[in-house]
A and B are shown apart, each in its own frame.
Chain A
Amino acid sequence: NAGVTQTPKFQVLKTGQSMTLQCAQDMNHEYMSWYRQDPGMGLRLIHYSVGAGITDQGEVPNGYNVSRSTTEDFPLRLLSAAPSQTSVYFCASSYGWLSGSRSEQYFGPGTRLTVT
């Protein structure tokens, strides 16, 4: 298994540009989520999905869009990039989303995004 994969690893955007961060998992996990990591802030949830066709907002959803057309893929779209979106983005997945031993989350390697 490749686990959770993310592309690209690094990206530089200009203010106002749009782009899509890709996330894929090959573990047949139902639950997928996107976090952003900022210095001194830990990780904060952007959007999440409990299954194909179902998405919901997390703590910091503004400026981001998601869709879940397949179990494997969960892309994150930046609609109009802003310097405040400079961050490291992590995708995570788990078999389930309720508490329990099968709900352990697996993280991708991250995408480092800089918006100038």
Chain B
Amino acid sequence: GDSVTQMEGPVTLSEEAFLTINCTYTATGYPSLFWYVQYPGEGLQLLLKATKADDKGSNKGFEATYRKETTSFHLEKGSVQVSDSAVYFCALKGSQGNLIFGKGTKLSVKP
């Protein structure tokens, strides 16, 4: 069945460092792909999405490109801030209309 694999955390970075969180997927066809972010004590918020191959989703300085050749959707940010500390989830749209999530990657950014 469909699945998402993302890099395990936690990831600890200094402010202004470059961030990459790897995400690969297994699916039939070309599902929509998403990155969600969960700040401490809160629900999930959509960070960015891509609905077809080669699409680039971007928001708040974060970017991810839908790569069908490598079945990947890696999240990147050029310069992280302390306020980016959160748990990041990669997800794909399943055939039931649901989201299939990776296990999440906790990011901590130190000043």
Contact (A42, B103) CB under 8 Å given A31-B97, A56-B96, A101-B51: yes
Contact (A43, B32) CB under 8 Å given A104-B46, A107-B43, A107-B44: no
B101 touches A97 (CB 8 A): no
A43 touches B96 (CB 8 A): no
CA of A97 to CA of B95, assembled, Å: 9
A108 touches B103 (CB 8 A): no
> Please, which residues of chain A bring their CB within 8 A of the CB of B43?
4, 90, 107-110
Q: Total interface residues on A, using CB and 8 Å?
A: 31
Contact (A43, B45) CB under 8 Å given A99-B51, A100-B51, A103-B93: no
CA of A50 to CA of B95, assembled, Å: 12
B49 touches A104 (CB 8 A): yes
Confirm or deny: B28 has a beta carbon within 8 angstroms of a beta carbon on chain A.
Answer: no
Confirm or deny: A45 has a beta carbon within 8 angstroms of a beta carbon on chain B.
Answer: yes
30 sample A-B contacts, Cβ–Cβ < 8 Å, listed by A number? A33-B97, A33-B98, A40-B103, A41-B103, A42-B4, A42-B101, A42-B102, A42-B103, A43-B44, A43-B99, A43-B101, A44-B101, A45-B98, A45-B99, A48-B96, A48-B97, A50-B97, A58-B98, A90-B44, A92-B99, A96-B97, A97-B96, A99-B32, A99-B93, A100-B32, A100-B51, A103-B97, A105-B99, A107-B45, A110-B43
